[in-house]
C-alpha cells in the first residue's frame, strides 16, 4: 500500500511537534534504545492503533542513523530506561540521530494508522513518499548544516518496523524532497493563513486586536507586508529573526542560548531536593509545570521563578540589540514558542513597556497556539509555492 505525505516537522529540544498529512502530533522529543519488546502476553494488534503515538516502539534500519529498536516519545519517557534527549545548548540538530529517528518513527506510525482506517485491517507492508519542511535553530542554520540535515532524510530509503504487540508492520519511507529552513521564519506563513489557505482569523489575535483597537474583522492579511521581529522562545535557544512579508532578512540573523530549558536546568536540583528525589529528567519537570493539578506543580513553579526572571532579562537584552541594529524599524514584535508560555507573566510587562516606548506593536501569541506556530508554519510552507519552486530547482540541478 502506498501513501504520499506532506510533513511539517518541528524538532524542539523538549517537544516534537510534527504535522503528518494534516495530523498534529505532540510528543516529548526523547527516545531510548532497547534490545527486546516489553510485552510478554499476546495483545490484539488492533488495540495499539488508536493510541499508537503514546506506545510507539520501532526498529529502524536507515543509512543515516544507528540501527536498532527504539522506544519513542512518551513511551520512552515513562519506561524507566535511560533516555536520549537533545542536550540544551550542546547538540547540533543536524548531527545527532534523535531528530531523525523520532521523525521516521512518527511518520511510520501515522502510515500504519492511515492504512488501518482505510482497509479496516492491519496492512503489513507500506511505502510512504514524503515531502517535508523542517527547521534548524538560526544560530546553527548555514547552507552546509541545512544541506547535511536534508540529506540525512533524502539519502534513503529508510526501513521502519512498527511493533503492534507481537505483530510487525514494515514501512518503507522515501523522502522525495526535504527542506530545512531557519527556525521562526515559517511562522510568517502561520500568522497569515489558516490550514485551508484562507486568511487566518480567530482568538489567536483577540488580545492584539483589543490592545490596539483594531477592526473587529481583523485577519492575517494585516501581516502580509509588515516588518516583524520574531521572538521564538524554546527550551535551549531563543531566535530573533526579522521578516518582511514572507521574506527572511538574512542581515539580522541572531539567536541566543537562552530559554525555558536553562531555567529548568537551574531549578532542577532544588526541585528534586523539595520532592525528595536524587534525580529526575528535565522532561518530567516540564510535564509537572504543564499540569496545574500535579501534586508537585506549586513547588516546581516556586523553584522556577528566579531562574525565569534571569532568562527573561537576557532575552530583553537581546531584543534591544536587534532593535538597535534595525534602527527600531520594526512594526510588530511577535512572541511564541514553548518557553513564552512559562515566561509570560514576567516577560510580557517588560516587553510591553519596551514596545510602547519605541512605537512598536506587541503580539504575544496565546498559550494554546504558542507551541505549534513553527509546526503550522512548516506545514503551510511544505504545501506552498515557494517549496514547489525549490523542489523543481533541486530536481533540475541533479
Per-residue model confidence as pLDDT tens digits over 197-242: 889 999 999 999 999 999 889 999 999 999 999 999 987 788 899 9
Position 91 confidence tier, pLDDT thresholds 50, 70, 90: low
Q: Is residue 170 located within the same domain as residue 198?
A: no
Q: Which residue has the cell 523542517?
A: 134
pLDDT at 88: 57
Q: Is residue 308 located within the same domain as residue 360?
A: yes
pLDDT at 129: 98
Q: Is residue 178 located within the same domain as residue 206?
A: no
pLDDT at 103: 97
Q: Is residue 82 located within the same domain as residue 200?
A: no
| 335 domain residue, yes or no | yes
Position 260 confidence tier, pLDDT thresholds 50, 70, 90: confident
| 394 domain residue, yes or no | no
Domain CATH for 145: 3.30.420.40
Q: In the listed set 153, 182, 211, which residue is the last one of a domain according to the structure?
A: 182
Q: In the listed set 140, 157, 182, which residue is the last one of a domain according to the structure?
A: 182
**pLDDT over 90 at 30, yes or no:** yes
| 147 domain residue, yes or no | yes
**pLDDT over 80 at 83, yes or no:** yes
More confident residue, 137 or 336: 336
Give mean pLDDT, residues 373-397. 91
CA distances from 50 to 58, 69, 116, 118 (A): 16, 21, 10, 14
CA–CA separation, 203 and 19 (whole Å): 21
* Number of compact structural domains in the chain: 2
**pLDDT over 60 at 6, yes or no:** yes
Mean pLDDT of the chain: 92
Q: Which domain holds residue 116?
A: 2-182
Give pTM, 2 decimals: 0.87
| 241 domain residue, yes or no | yes
Question: Is the backbone peptide bond immediately before 290 cis, with ω within 30 degrees of 0?
Answer: no
pLDDT at 228: 97
**pLDDT over 60 at 69, yes or no:** yes
Give mean pLDDT, residues 237-263. 87
Q: Is residue 235 located within the same domain as residue 256?
A: yes
Amino acid at each position: 500500500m502506498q501513501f504520499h505525505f506532506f510533513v511539517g516537522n518541528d524538532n524542539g529540544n523538549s517537544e516534537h511537534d510534527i504535522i503528518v498529512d494534516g495530523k498534529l502530533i505532540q510528543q516529548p522529543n526523547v527516545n531510548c534504545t532497547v534490545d527486546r519488546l516489553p510485552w510478554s502476553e499476546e495483545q490484539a494488534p488492533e488495540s495499539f492503533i488508536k493510541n499508537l503515538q503514546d506506545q510507539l516502539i520501532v526498529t529502524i534500519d536507515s543509512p543515516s542513523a544507528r540501527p536498532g529498536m527504539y522506544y519513542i516519545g512518551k513511551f520512552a519517557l515513562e519506561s524507566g530506561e535511560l533516555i536520549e534527549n537533545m542536550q540544551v545548548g550542546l547538540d547540533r540538530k543536524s548531527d545527532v540521530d534523535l531528530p531523525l529517528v523520532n521523525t521516521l518513527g512518527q511518520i511510520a506510525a501515522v502510515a500504519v494508522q492511515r492504512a488501518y482506517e482505510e482497509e479496516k485491517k492491519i496492512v503489513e507492508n507500506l511505502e510512504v513518499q514524503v515531502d517535508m519542511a523542517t527547521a534548524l535553530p538560526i544560530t546553527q542554520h548555514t547552507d552546509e548544516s541545512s544541506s547535511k540535515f536534508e540529506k540525512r532524510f533524502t539519502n534513503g530509503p529508510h526501513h521502519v518496523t512498527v511493533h503492534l504487540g507481537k505483530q510487525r508492520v514494515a514501512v518503507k519511507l522515501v523522502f522525495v524532497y526535504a527542506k530545512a529552513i531557519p527556525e521562526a521564519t515559517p511562522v510568517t506563513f502561520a500568522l497569515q493563513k489558516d490550514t485551508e489557505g484562507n486568511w487566518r482569523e480567530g482568538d489567536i489575535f483577540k488580545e492584539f486586536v483589543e490592545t490596539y483597537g483594531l477592526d473587529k474583522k481583523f485577519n492575517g492579511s494585516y501581516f502580509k507586508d509588515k516588518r516583524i521581529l520574531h521572538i521564538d522562545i524554546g527550551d535551549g535557544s531563543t531566535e530573533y529573526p526579522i521578516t518582511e512579508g514572507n521574506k527572511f532578512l538574512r542581515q539580522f540573523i541572531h539567536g541566543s542560548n537562552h530559554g525555558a530549558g536553562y531555567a529548568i536546568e537551574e531549578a532542577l536540583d532544588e526541585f528534586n531536593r523539595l520532592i525528595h528525589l536524587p534525580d529526575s529528567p528535565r522532561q518530567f519537570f516540564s510535564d509537572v509545570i504543564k499540569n496545574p493539578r500535579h501534586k508537585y506543580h506549586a513547588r516546581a513553579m516556586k523553584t522556577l521563578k528566579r531562574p525565569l526572571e534571569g532568562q527573561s532579562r537576557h532575552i530583553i537584552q537581546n531584543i534591544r540589540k536587534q532593535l538597535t541594529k534595525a534602527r527600531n524599524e520594526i512594526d510588530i514584535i511577535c512572541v511564541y514558542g514553548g518557553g513564552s508560555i512559562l515566561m509570560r507573566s514576567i516577560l510580557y510587562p517588560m516587553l510591553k513597556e519596551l514596545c510602547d516606548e519605541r512605537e512598536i506593536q506587541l503580539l504575544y501569541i496565546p498559550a494554546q497556539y504558542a507551541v505549534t506556530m513553527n509546526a503550522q508554519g512548516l506545514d503551510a510552507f511544505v504545501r506552498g509555492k515557494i517549496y514547489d519552486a525549490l523542489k523543481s530547482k533541486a530536481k533540475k540541478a541533479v
